[in-house]
Amino acid sequence: MTIRIFRHFLLLCLMTPVLLSAQTTARFYRGSGSDTAYYSTVIPLSGQLAATTPLEIGGTWYHLNAANSNSQDNITNRIQFTSTLASFGSYSSGQSLYCNQAYRFGIYAGDPTVSTVWTNAIIIAVYAISNMAYVDSLVIPYPPSSQSNAWTQLITSGNMFVTSKYGLTTTFYEQPDTTWGDGFFGEGTLTHEATATATNYLFVVYAIGSTDLGGMTVDSGGNWTWEPLYSLNFDKRPVTRASFVDQAQFQGQPMPSQYYGVAGDSCRRDQCHRQRRHQLHGFGQQPGIAAAPDP
């Protein structure tokens, strides 16, 4: 397959937010089969809530379909999609992301080091939020160890690359030791922190990568291309909203202080005692406590 350079077709993209009824902190996957190495992945790591329905983008892509044993060179054997994996922020009717607060995302979309695309393995497309006009693209490399100069620079900087423009500072931490990539390079963590300038823009994060079964995502011509992973926008924090409310919490939301540092089993035992005590006093059942999330 040939590699198609990321072109300014984004100028023609029409982005339509979808009205939503719920939000989630779940992991987001695109793919098929039993091996997550063949799934593209977005993981919110700071307790941020994603809109239930991702942002629809004016384009069509074809994702690797590991459950289909037929050739992945044929797009009819792949999974067709037209949206990001997840969307974050008020533009997509999700929970607001606020300026001057860091938000972390784990990502994986295949291994970009098998080609020269490692130089712009991650692309952050910038749009004017007022009319969705394309503004610019910010690029982040994912160098392989064979590229001695770039690799040395990466190691020297603590396995990180930082880009800052349009009020958004993004730090990419290259970490091939996480569990969501299952053996391939390409995984890592993106940390975004915005100033008030960023409230004028919508950002869409794209990534490119390959597997031993073929490119993770291709276009309609079968060309290996960048996959839209997630979108995000930022709002100014209301003066009446404390920053603590939006910081990462044990359960993704502020929890009663009396349960801080208490194991889940102890919480449940205590809740049973509280329920029993209220029943004896005629107050009825109290709301249950959610189980602790997976580590």
User: Is residue 272 within a helix (H) or strand (E), and if so which, with residue range?
Assistant: helix 264-280
Question: Which of 204, 220, 244 finishes a domain?
Answer: 244
pLDDT at residue 94 is higher than 70: yes
Q: Are residue 189 and residue 224 in the same domain, yes or no?
A: yes
Q: Are residue 275 and residue 202 in the same domain, yes or no?
A: no
pLDDT band for position 44 (50/70/90)? very high
Give a yes or no: residue 1 inside a domain.
Answer: no
Give a yes or no: residue 137 inside a domain.
Answer: yes
Give a yes or no: residue 283 inside a domain.
Answer: yes
pLDDT band for position 147 (50/70/90)? confident
Calculate what percentage of the chain has a pLDDT beyond 70: 69
Q: Are residue 53 and residue 146 in the same domain, yes or no?
A: yes
Looking at residue 171, what is its pLDDT? 95
Give a yes or no: residue 38 inside a domain.
Answer: yes
Give a yes or no: residue 177 inside a domain.
Answer: yes
Q: Are residue 184 and residue 81 in the same domain, yes or no?
A: yes
- Distances from the Cα of 34 to the Cα of 5, 31, 38, 39, 294, angstroms: 31, 10, 9, 9, 19
Q: Are residue 77 and residue 27 in the same domain, yes or no?
A: yes
Question: Which of 207, 227, 244 finishes a domain?
Answer: 244
Q: Are residue 239 and residue 270 in the same domain, yes or no?
A: no
Q: Are residue 97 and residue 201 in the same domain, yes or no?
A: yes
Instruction: State which residues form the domain around 287.
Output: 253-295
pLDDT at residue 207 is higher than 80: yes
Comparing 138-147, 193-202, 224-233, 283-292, the range with the smallest average pLDDT is: 283-292
Give a yes or no: residue 2 inside a domain.
Answer: no
Q: Are residue 238 and residue 101 in the same domain, yes or no?
A: yes
Q: Are residue 107 and residue 162 in the same domain, yes or no?
A: yes
Report phi then psi at 39, rounded to 5: -110, 135
Q: Are residue 124 and residue 261 in the same domain, yes or no?
A: no
Each residue's pLDDT tens digit, 277-289: 333 333 222 232 2
Looking at residue 242, what is its pLDDT? 58
pLDDT band for position 176 (50/70/90)? low
Give a yes or no: residue 51 inside a domain.
Answer: yes
Q: Are residue 92 and residue 238 in the same domain, yes or no?
A: yes
Could you list the beta-strand ranges (E) of the chain: 23-24, 28-30, 40-44, 50-51, 56-63, 79-83, 86-88, 97-98, 103-108, 122-128, 134-140, 160-165, 168-174, 188-194, 201-207, 210-211, 214-215, 217-218, 227-235
Each residue's pLDDT tens digit, 217-239: 999 999 999 999 999 999 998 76
Structure tokens at 214: 């073929």
Q: How many domains does the chain have?
A: 2
Give a yes or no: residue 117 inside a domain.
Answer: yes
Q: Are residue 195 and residue 215 in the same domain, yes or no?
A: yes
